[in-house]
């Protein structure tokens, strides 16, 4: 910075600051449709998970620890991934109920949970042609 720039900054330091105006961008029709689809999928997921929750014991399939009375999305592990098997997203046999710790470990390394790995293998034999 030069001397002139420093003097200019000093001379204008008490000037009122310009306030930034933040505007919410309009959502395109395509994005709006996508958001509605995501919301519908989330609602359908919630209903499906509640069905599975009511039909299953409220214990972790891997370590056997007790789970809270109300279910959370993190408890439902798709044995065959949704991204690779989207047709099995709402298949009750494809769901394992896990505690948070077991779920995160299964997501990173399935070898952590041999019981879940075996369940995955059995589900694949039953559901994938």
Give tens-digit pLDDT for 51-107: 999 999 999 999 999 999 999 989 999 999 999 999 999 999 999 999 999 999 888
pLDDT confidence of 1, banded at 50, 70, 90? low
Specify if 4 maps to a domain: no
CA 35 – CA 70 distance, rounded (Å): 27
Q: What is the pTM of this model?
A: 0.73
The number of distinct structural domains making up the chain is 1
Specify if 90 maps to a domain: yes
How high does pLDDT run on average in the chain? Answer: 91
- Residue numbers of the domain that contains 34: 29-127
Specify if 5 maps to a domain: no
- Cα–Cα nearest to 52, from 79, 67, 71, 66: 71
CA 87 – CA 82 distance, rounded (Å): 8
Specify if 70 maps to a domain: yes
């Amino acid at each position: 910075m030069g001397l002139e720039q420093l003097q200019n900054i000093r001379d204008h330091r008490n000037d009122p600051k310009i306030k930034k105006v933040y505007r919410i961008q309009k959502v395109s029709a395509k994005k709006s449709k996508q958001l509605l689809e995501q919301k519908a999928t989330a609602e359908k997921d919630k209903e499906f998970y509640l069905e599975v929750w009511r039909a299953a014991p409220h214990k972790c399939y891997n370590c056997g620890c007790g789970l809270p009375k109300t279910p959370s999305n993190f408890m439902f592990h798709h044995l065959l991934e949704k991204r690779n098997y989207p047709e099995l997203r709402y298949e009750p046999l494809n769901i394992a109920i896990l505690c948070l710790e077991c779920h995160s470990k299964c997501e990173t390394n399935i070898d952590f949970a041999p019981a879940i790995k075996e369940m995955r293998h059995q589900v694949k034999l039953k559901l994938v042609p």
